[in-house]
Structure 1
């Protein structure tokens, strides 16, 4: 700027594991992808019971689009995930892995398939794992997930207030904020303070005050609130919904960074997951 160098940008090279395929011919990149610098991520079940009906689906969700475009496969088996994870560690130095899923049912809400997947991966390679699902009805799943090898847990509210949740994600909003809070309170003693995270999309309609009020409650429980700017995806009902301004994000992230700093809860302490990766948000810069 004005003749002065401000910084240098480096673009990551395609990871080497992308060049490999399973014995039955499935490219590894259809099974899991590199996120950020060194996080491997996959959607185990590329389907959701709510997605097909816009009366219940999350209005920002595109879980079915990559499947329709043949960029992924509908279900990644535990053996496939273990094979790809091992290669990603050995070839590209991956340091953690995120296992998320569409919601397959309203009972365990995906916890069962995540536990099965985590167990297979940890048998193949020593790789910290985060599993992500809606709160299962039986909170005993938290202990089972931990025993299966999960190091951290993500249960994503997406929006801070029930009114916005009901408007933007009518199906998922049937699991209320209060039920999430109960699940967080059960999960933190099992996974540890700061090892339970929730994803919050700023720009869906919640005010900065709403987001920060929720974040304060979450931090008090020991939950890391990973606040991310909403980014519209083409082909979804919210494709024309404007993302939040830089000013709005700063009004949220600056005080949130202070709150996390004061609580001694930082992204660098998260063993695995979105908060540790940080590629979707600049929140970690405000923790300094």
Structure 2
């Protein structure tokens, strides 16, 4: 198993995930219409870069203005025909920048900024009914923010505005965190039901394991899939970095994921994110096998430090480590008949996932036109 198994463009994506990309001030000025249009929205660490498409199937969210982007191997350039290109180890690849959503400056009927509840990346809307989080994961920039439950009407109206956006058309939806406290389960379940039953787009749910029958209710309402994110497998490290998930425990995670797979099936319908770079490589790979054995697609997410968090000064993993983890993880999931997620190709932009030419990976509707 060698990195030579990877193509140059695959290595380019992995390098961008680990080291970012260089963009000169001149090109920044040009791409931002003289500084009038932002190149990125820094609303979350793993989406805070510029989202690029190489060829037909490679998407990457590449950080460019963070402290750890001081020695990138890739550089955004402009070719002789005025076409955007990426220079990587002396080779040039045509590139396309995905636009930001068109609702960034919009407000709802009550004057609330739409981005308080929704954000779009690639072809997916991410809906956040909870501001802040009841969990205290040390890598997350929700840490320290005041926990706030957004009014249901604000969530629904913001979603409709995002769904109608033509700048970055959405093909599916994820109802995401922060994680609600137990006292707000009725509220979040109402949000789930309203969105799932009324949205013309497929709706996935990101949630932590619960001891009630929420999976059954969500499947009955018509949920498209689940993201049940483990994030850190090593017990000692998870006790410090993801303490609430550590208290949930691997046993409940396994039961919850198994039940989700039983109810909605495999084929990427159930995913679980695991961070690369916060624990020893072997522990990450054990986590990949733990998830794959359950019929769940592991999603490898390279750690990126977020400003203002306890892990803000931790260096992201190097591309060589990412390549090794990817190749070994690919072998593991093949043994269990699952894939590295997500299956949606544009949604792979901030994950260590690469299309393999099979029908297992797909575009939602016509999102390959992005």
TM-score range, shorter chain: 0.7 to 0.9
Secondary structure, counterpart of 2:179 in structure 1? coil
2:116 is matched with which residue: 13, 22, 30? 30
How far apart are the structure 2 equivalents of 1:238 and 1:84?
A: 32
CA RMSD, 1 decimal = 2.9
Superposition deviation, residue 267 in structure 1? 6.3
Of residues 58, 83, 102, the one that matches 2:178 is 102
Question: Residue 106 of structure 2 aligns with which residue?
Answer: 20
Which residue matches 1:62? 141
Q: Does structure 2 conserve the Cα–Cα contact (< 8 Å) formed by 1:78 and 1:121?
A: no
Q: C-alpha offsets along residues 24-76 of structure 1, whole Å, 9 cap, x if unaligned? A: 011222220012x11111322113334xxxxxx221121157x67xxxx9333
Query: Does the alignment pair 1:180 with 2:253?
Result: yes
Measure, in 2, the Cα distance between the counterparts of 1:195 and 1:48: 25
Deviation at 1:253? Answer: 0.8
Any unmatched runs of 5+ in structure 1?
A: 51-56
Q: Please give the TM-score of this superposition, normalised by the length of structure 1.
A: 0.81
Structure 2: which 5+ residue stretches go unaligned? Answer: 1-86, 359-370
**Counterpart of 2:128?**
43
Partner in structure 2 of residue 53 of structure 1:
none
What SS is found at the alignment partner of 1:182? Answer: helix
Hey, what's the Cα distance between the residues in 1 that align with 2:234 and 2:340?
Answer: 24
Matched residues in 1 for 2:206 and 2:348: separation? 16
SS in 1 for 2:96: coil
Specify which structure has the higher proportion of helix: 1
| Bigger CA radius of gyration | 2
Q: What pairs up with 1:118-267 in 2 under 5 angstroms?
A: 118-138=192-212, 140-193=213-266, 194-205=268-279, 207-261=280-334, 263-266=336-339
Whole-Å separation in 1 of the counterparts to 2:315 and 2:97 = 27
How many angstroms apart in 1 are the aligned matches of 2:157 and 2:196? 11
Q: What is the aligned partner in structure 1 of residue 151 from structure 2?
A: 77
Q: CA deviation at 1:90?
A: 3.0
Q: CA deviation at 1:213?
A: 2.3
Q: Deviations over 1:192-212 (max 9, x none)?
A: 11311111111112x222222
Q: CA deviation at 1:101?
A: 2.4
Conserved 8 A contact 1:129-1:150: yes
Report the 3-state secondary structure (helix = DSSP H, G, I; strand = E; otherwise coil) of the residue aligned with 1:175.
Answer: helix
Distance in 1 (CA, whole Å) between partners of 2:243 and 2:196 is 35
2:65 match:
none
Structure 1 3/127 Cα, relative in aligned 2: closer, same or farther at 3 Å? Answer: closer
Is contact 1:115–1:148 with CA below 8 Å preserved after alignment?
no
What is the distance in 1 between the residues matched to 2:191 and 2:244? 26
The total of aligned residue pairs comes to 269
TM-score, normalization by structure 2: 0.65
